[in-house]
Chain A
C-alpha cells in the first residue's frame, strides 16, 4: 500500500487531464530508464518500443529519454522535475519506481504516470508489465523438448519481480514435459555481470546441460557467447538474438512493448485511462495478447522432431488462449 503523506497542492491546471493536450500541442513524454538504452534487454526493449511509437506519432509526441537512473534516491526528484517541466506522460521503467511514482502521481494529478513492472497505481498512473511466467513456461517447454541430456539451465541477473516469475514459469514448463528433468539455475547477482553469466553458462554446459534460457539484461550476451563457444543451444530473451549466435540461438522470447504503448496512449487520449481501476490498471504484454512472442525456431542441430515442433506450437496456442495454469511466485518459497 502507498503511504505517502497526503498532498493537496498541485499546479493549477484544468481539472480534466485530457483537456491538457490540445491537438496543436505535442504531448511531452519522458521515459526514465534505470539502465542503459543499449542494454540489449529490459531497458532497450522499452527504449525501442517507445521510439517506435514516437516515430509513428511524430507530429503528436515529443520524447525525452533519460537512462542509467539507477540510484533509487534520485527517482523522486527526477519524476518531480519532469512533472514541473510540463511533461504530460512520465514513464518509470522498473519496479523500484513504484513508491516515488505513486507519491508524485498524487502530487501532480494532471500528469500521467506509467510504471514498468511495479505494483500499485493511482487514478492518473498505471502499470505495464510482462507476463514472463508465460514466456518462461514456453521456454521451459522448448528446452525440455530439445535437450538430449535431460539437463537444462536458466540464468538470471538480479532476482525479483518478473524475472523470478519467468524462472518459475521456465521450471514449470520444463517439468510439464519431463517430470524429473534436471534444472540448473543461477543468478549472477548483477544485471550487467556478463562475465559471471558467461562463466555460469560454461559451467552448466560443462556439466551436461545442453539448452539454457537466460532471462535477459546484459547478462544474456555472456550466455550466448558461452553457447557459441561450447556449441550448445541457448534461448534468448527480450530481443531476437540470432545475430549473436546464428547456429546456437535456438529460439527466444521477444517483447513487443509497442502494442501496450499504443493501447495506453489511446486510453489516455480517449480519457478511459483515468477511469480504469484495479486489475485493469495493469497493461500486460503477454503471449495471449501477442506482446510476448517466440522467435522462429532455429534448430540447426536437428534435435527437434516434427512431432516436438508441433507440441511446442500447441502449447504456444494454449498459452495464447490462457489455457495453462501458470505457477504463482509463492511456489518458489516452497
Chain B
C-alpha cells in the first residue's frame, strides 16, 4: 500500500493538509516574532490560544457571525496576554514561570467557561465554520487548485500576514523600536523610547495573533470547541519562532515543515506503514528538534532576551 505515497492524489492531499495544519501555527508564530524580538519569551501562547478559541467560538455561536467571533478571539487574546505583559514587564517576573502559570490558568479558565456557558449537552455546540472559498475556475484547477485554492479565507489571511509582519518589523518605526528594546533596552530608553510601552505593545500584538490562531481552530478549522483543541500548537509556534531566527518568512517555512510532518504522519498511519502509530506521532516533534539543530547555530537571540528591564538597574 505504501506505493500509494507516490500517487498524485496522495501528494495533493498531503500538501493541502500541510497548508491547513501550518496555518494555526503560523498565525501565533508571527505574533511571537514581535514579542520575542522585543525580548520577551512568552510561553503562555498555548493558554492564550485556548482563550481565543473559547471566546471566539462562544461569540460566533451566540451572534452567528464568524467575523465577530474572530474579532473576539483577537481581543481576548490581547487581554489575556496583558497579564503576561504585566508580569514580565512591570512585575519583572521570570518569564518561564509566568508563561507556565498562565497556561494552567488559561486551560482551566477555558474549560470553566465552556462548561458554564454551554452546560452539558448530549451533542456538542457547533457552528457553521468558515467554508473553503470557491473561485469558479481556479479552485477547480486539477492540482494547483486542490492544493492552494480550496482553503478558507483565514488561511489566506494568515499567509498574507507574513509579508505584513515583515514590513512592520523592517520598514516601520514601530518595528525598529521593537528591535531596539529587545536588543538594548537601555539605549532605547535613553533615546526617549518607552521600553515598557513598546514591550507591552509587542506582547499584546503577540496575544492578538495567538487569540486569532486560537479562534481559527474553533471557527475555521474545526466547528466546535474541545479542551484539547489547541493541542500544543502554542508551544510549537514558540519553537518555530526560534527556528525561524525571528524572521517572518522563515517562520512560514517552519510552520509548513511542522504542518508537513503532521500531515505526513497521519497519512503514513492511514496507509498502514510498518511503523507503529505512536512512533509516527513523534514525527512533528522530531522534525522541530531537527529544524532547531539546523537553524540554531546561526540564531542571534536579541541581547535582552528574557531579561526584564529597569531603568535603575546598572
Contact = CB atoms under 8 A, between A and B. Distances in A.
Interface of A: 36-38, 40, 44, 47-48, 153, 159, 182, 184-187, 189-190, 192-196, 198-200, 202-204, 206-208, 218, 221-222, 225, 229, 239, 241, 243-244
Contact of B263 (A159, A185, A192, A203): A203
B9 A194 contact: no
A241 B121 CA distance: 13
A148 to B, nearest CB: 16
A38 B13 contact: no
A194 B233 CA distance: 14
A38 B124 contact: yes
Contact of B122 (A200, A208, A239): A239
A74 B89 CA distance: 37
B229 interface: yes
Contacts of A36: 227
Interface stretch (B69-77, B181-189, B237-245, B267-275): B267-275
A334 B224 CA distance: 38
A199 B13 CA distance: 10
A184 B272 contact: yes
Interface residues of B, number: 39
Nearest to B119: A38
Nearest to B125: A38
A170 to B, nearest CB: 14
A243 B125 CA distance: 11
20 contacts: A184-B272, A186-B266, A186-B269, A186-B270, A187-B277, A189-B277, A193-B231, A194-B226, A194-B228, A195-B221, A195-B231, A196-B231, A196-B266, A199-B262, A199-B266, A203-B17, A206-B12, A218-B228, A241-B123, A244-B126
Nearest to B281: A189
A192 B228 contact: yes
Contacts of B223: 225
A107 to B, nearest CB: 32
Interface in B12-36: 12-14, 16-17, 20-21
Contacts of B267: 203, 207
B222 A198 contact: yes
Contacts of B222: 194-195, 198, 221-222, 225
Contacts of B21: 199
Interface in B205-236: 217, 221-224, 226-229, 231
Given A218-B226, A221-B124, A199 B17 contact: yes
Nearest to A239: B122
A186 B277 contact: yes
A198 B222 CA distance: 8
